[in-house]
Amino acid sequence: MEKLSRRNFIKNTSAGLLSVAILNPIGKLFASNKKEIIPTWNELIDFARWCPTVHNLQPHLVKIVSETEAELYYDPSRLLPVGDSQSIFATVAMGIFVENLTIASGIYNKKIVIHEIQKPINANATTITLFAKLKIEKCDVIEKLSRDLILKRKTSRLHYDGNPISNNTLHKLKSQTEEFDHEFFSTSDLNFIKSIIEMNQQTLFEDLESELIRDELDKLFRYNKEEAETKKDGLWAKCMGFSGSLMKSVFTNHEKWTKGIRKSLLSHNYKNSFKGTSTVCWFGGDFENTDHWLRAGRMFARNWLLLTQENAYLQPFGSLITNENAYKQINEKFTQPTNNKKIWMIFRAGYSNEPSRSFRLSTDEIIIK
């Protein structure tokens, strides 16, 4: 019995070793192929081009250098010399774009790393300018966000349904924010939210008093579908929730809307567009230089997709940050971040019908040949 058992053991062991010897090279081959798959820049850009940018201007351009290297440029004609003179939020948008590239590459266990930043974005530049160098690298962390969320994400300026963002979702946002050393705040106090909406409306009228701001915005608005579809950028009236003719009149015949019943109607319509808002959120973080702005953008990109994952939408209150008087007021009213960090983004979040999608530049238009 003992000899028979030993003989069977040797026989079985030999067979097992033979199987390993035969199959292991194949296993290694498949494992090797999986590790070596590198996404194309075209594929990644085809996703990332749907990311949000300031006023949907899409200043990013990419020059492919090699399979794993690329250069990130900006088009100064797609910047805001008046509304964003230091290109702070254009830089935040660059961070959002790069983080969307990373999320799109996650299924390959890859990430996009900024290796070199040339100079801060200059709103007064006259030619397409190199901003940073990018590289596809291996990522040791499993990507938790599906890249399909990039295609699903939209800004909603519609009426929200009155339901606040759930505590579970707020907790996810807070945790994600802290991973980037930022702080997250939110409120569902309806009286406080009402005061924010009123402040936002007042800020709009104050901004529209500036001829320079009006002229800059007028060039960005797409008052009809044909114009929006042709230019594939800017603020399409349909996505803004107002008729194109009304918006065009406000910008080209501004004096008619500065007093009397027209001003009251415009004010009422604008405030009414925020109906159903039950959650307002804001971020605080280091916000002094290009590195800070890029990091803020990367964080915002992920939080926006987290909301999308929960079938929720957001709408930034950009003017509350960029308008000097409004920013002074929010620093008096809002809970402040610690350690001299700054509030740099305020937005409403909630649930609405599916909003319209803005047009985007094609992948070929973003890639520099």
Q: What is the pLDDT of residues 243-260, one digit of tens each?
A: 999 889 988 888 888 888
Burial 142-160 (b: 16+ CB within 10 A, else e): ebebebebbeebbbbbbbb
Place of tokens 């996404």: 39
Give the pLDDT score at 136. Answer: 98
Give 169 or 25, the one with higher predicted confidence.
169
Q: Average model confidence (pLDDT) for the chain? A: 91
Instruction: Report the C-alpha gap between 244 and 103 in whole angstroms.
Output: 35
Q: Is 103 in contact with 301 (CB distance < 8 Å)?
A: yes
Measured CA to CA in angstroms, residue 260 lies from 65, 252, 256, 264, 272 at distances of: 58, 18, 9, 6, 18
Instruction: Report the C-alpha gap between 301 and 274 in whole angstroms.
Output: 23
pLDDT band at residue 29 under the 50/70/90 scheme = very low
User: What's the rounded mean pLDDT across residues 134-156?
Assistant: 97
What percent of the chain shows pLDDT beyond 90?
80
> Which residues partner with 235 through β-bridges?
221
Give the torsion sign (CA, 334, 337, 341, 347): negative
Residues 6+ apart with CB under 8 A from 118: 129, 130, 131, 132
CATH 3.40.50.720 at 155-209+258-350, yes or no? no
| pLDDT over 70 (residue 34) | no
> Which residues partner with 184 through β-bridges?
283
User: How much of the chain is in helix, strand and coil states, percent to nearest 5?
Assistant: 50, 15, 35
What are the sequence ranges of the domains in the chain? 1-36, 41-150+361-366, 155-209+258-350
User: What's the rounded mean pLDDT across residues 286-306?
Assistant: 98
Q: Which segment of 170-184, 241-255, 271-285, 340-354 scores lowest on mean pLDDT?
A: 241-255
What percent of the chain shows pLDDT beyond 70?
90
Give the pLDDT score at 35. Answer: 54
Domains 41-150+361-366 and 155-209+258-350 share a fold: yes
pLDDT band at residue 265 under the 50/70/90 scheme = confident
| pLDDT over 70 (residue 17) | no
Question: Beta-carbon neighbour count of residue 304 at 10 Å?
Answer: 27
Question: Beta-carbon neighbour count of residue 205 at 10 Å?
Answer: 14
Instruction: Report the C-alpha gap between 156 and 350 in whole angstroms.
Output: 9
Note the CATH number of domain 41-150+361-366: 3.40.109.10
| pLDDT over 60 (residue 199) | yes
Residue 278 tokens read as: 């039950």
Give the pLDDT score at 6. Answer: 39
Give the pLDDT score at 20. Answer: 37
Instruction: Report the C-alpha gap between 56 and 46 in whole angstroms.
Output: 16
Give the pLDDT score at 16. Answer: 41
| pLDDT over 50 (residue 28) | no
241 by DSSP, 3-state: which?
coil
User: What's the rounded mean pLDDT across residues 46-67?
Assistant: 98
| pLDDT over 50 (residue 12) | no
